[in-house]
């Protein structure tokens, strides 16, 4: 597949890159259709926000142009963009100024079972909890050992995703998805100021729901409240929406709010 490092075809990077040494960087995983990155503005906004919060200098125009050129060359599939703080010497102190490194990796679009979006998925209740770190909450940074541990908890094909809670037991997200629930016609999703990744599809759905006149709340959600929900669904920018049909002994139908939003997202031209 297609791979670029700093704008040129390459499949390696220096071992002194701080992305390797410390996970000192950010990434975006972007659906590419007909040579165009989907939800480009949202992906770039999150990436630039991450750069600002981690003080990684970033040439926004260069990144945007390069990503678009990469996607045009890729055609259809998934573009993963990793932006690291660049090379480092020994020690945690960043070089001032840093010279960030841009890594683009192309892959084919994942072959998700069609039933995931139609009949919904079974959610695995992960034991691995998310730590609370407000300085990193919301960002899609390269420190992802919690997700690696959580995703290692199940190997069966029965569970398409895992539920992650924080150390206090609050519901936060899936391992590679955000999570919504509906209760009494209100759409709820965990607020992400302590931990979690503020996903691009989550942001799109929050906006779409408001446009549809659906009442939306971002707030803390207890596990009991999740179990008590009328509908539950997952989302990310690759697969759109997957209804959750089961978590342990609890099961749900594919509810009307879930279907409505799933179909809106499916028909979006962006």
**Interacting residue ranges for a copy of itself, rule: CB under 8 A:** 3, 5, 10-24, 27, 29, 54-55, 78, 80, 82, 84-85, 89-94, 96, 103, 105, 107, 110, 128-129, 131-133, 135-136, 141-152, 155, 167, 175-176, 195
CA dist., res. 248 & res. 135, Å (int) = 33
Tell whether the torsion through CA atoms of 245, 250, 253 and 254 is positive or negative. Answer: negative
Residue of 28, 84, 161, 173 marked active site: 173
Q: How far is the CB of 107 from a copy of itself (least distance, A)?
A: 5
Q: How far is the CB of 198 from a copy of itself (least distance, A)?
A: 16
Q: How far is the CB of 195 from a copy of itself (least distance, A)?
A: 8
Q: Looking at beta carbons only, is 93 or 249 nearer to a copy of itself? A: 93
Here the tokens at position 236 are 């990310």
Residue of 29, 84, 189, 258 marked active site: 29
Q: Looking at beta carbons only, is 95 or 210 nearer to a copy of itself? A: 95
DSSP H/E element including 48: helix 40-54
Look up 29 and say whether it is catalytic.
Answer: yes
Q: Looking at beta carbons only, is 70 or 252 nearer to a copy of itself? A: 70
Look up 173 and say whether it is catalytic.
Answer: yes
Q: Could you tell me the CA-to-CA distances from 140 to 30, 44, 137, 223, 263 in Å, in that order? A: 12, 12, 9, 24, 26
Look up 260 and say whether it is catalytic.
Answer: no
Contacts of 234 (CB under 8 A, 6+ apart): 121, 123, 161, 174, 177, 178, 179, 180, 241, 242, 244
Q: How far is the CB of 254 from a copy of itself (least distance, A)?
A: 25
Q: How far is the CB of 29 from a copy of itself (least distance, A)?
A: 8
Are the CB atoms for 116 and 160 separated by under 8 Å?
A: yes
**Tell me, what DSSP letter sits at residue 189?**
E
Q: Looking at beta carbons only, is 144 or 259 nearer to a copy of itself? A: 144
Are the CB atoms for 241 and 261 separated by under 8 Å?
A: yes
Residue of 140, 161, 189, 204 marked active site: 140
Q: How far out from the chain centre does Cα 256 lie?
A: 24
| Alpha helix ranges (H) inside 96-193 | 114-118, 145-151
Q: Token match 């978590």: residue? A: 247
Q: Looking at beta carbons only, is 17 or 231 nearer to a copy of itself? A: 17
Active centre residues (catalytic): 29, 140, 173
């Amino acid at each position: 597949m297609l791979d670029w490092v700093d704008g040129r075809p390459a499949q390696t990077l220096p071992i002194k890159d701080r992305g390797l040494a410390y996970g000192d960087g950010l990434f975006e995983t972007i659906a590419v259709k007909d040579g165009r990155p989907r939800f480009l503005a949202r992906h770039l906004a999150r990436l630039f926000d991450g750069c600002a919060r981690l003080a990684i200098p970033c040439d926004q125009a260069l990144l945007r142009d390069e990503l678009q050129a990469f996607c045009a060359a890729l055609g259809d599939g998934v573009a993963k963009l990793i932006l690291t703080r660049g090379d480092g010497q020994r020690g945690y102190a960043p070089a001032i100024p840093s010279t960030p490194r841009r890594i683009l990796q192309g892959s084919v679009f994942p072959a998700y079972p069609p039933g995931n979006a139609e009949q919904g998925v079974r959610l695995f209740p992960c034991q691995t909890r998310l730590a609370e770190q407000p300085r990193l909450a919301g960002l899609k940074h390269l420190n992802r050992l919690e997700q690696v541990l959580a995703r290692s908890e199940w190997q069966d094909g029965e569970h398409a995703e895992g539920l992650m809670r924080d150390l206090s037991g609050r519901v936060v997200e899936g391992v590679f998805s955000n999570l919504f629930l509906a209760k009494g016609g209100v759409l709820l999703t965990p607020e992400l100021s302590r931990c979690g990744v503020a996903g691009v599809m989550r942001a799109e759905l929050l906006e779409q729901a408001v446009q549809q006149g659906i009442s939306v709340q971002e707030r803390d959600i207890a596990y009991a409240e999740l179990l008590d929900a009328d509908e539950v669904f997952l989302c990310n920018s690759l697969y759109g929406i997957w209804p959750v049909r089961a978590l342990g002994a609890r099961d749900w139908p594919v509810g009307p709010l879930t279907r409505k939003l799933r179909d809106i997202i499916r028909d979006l031209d962006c």
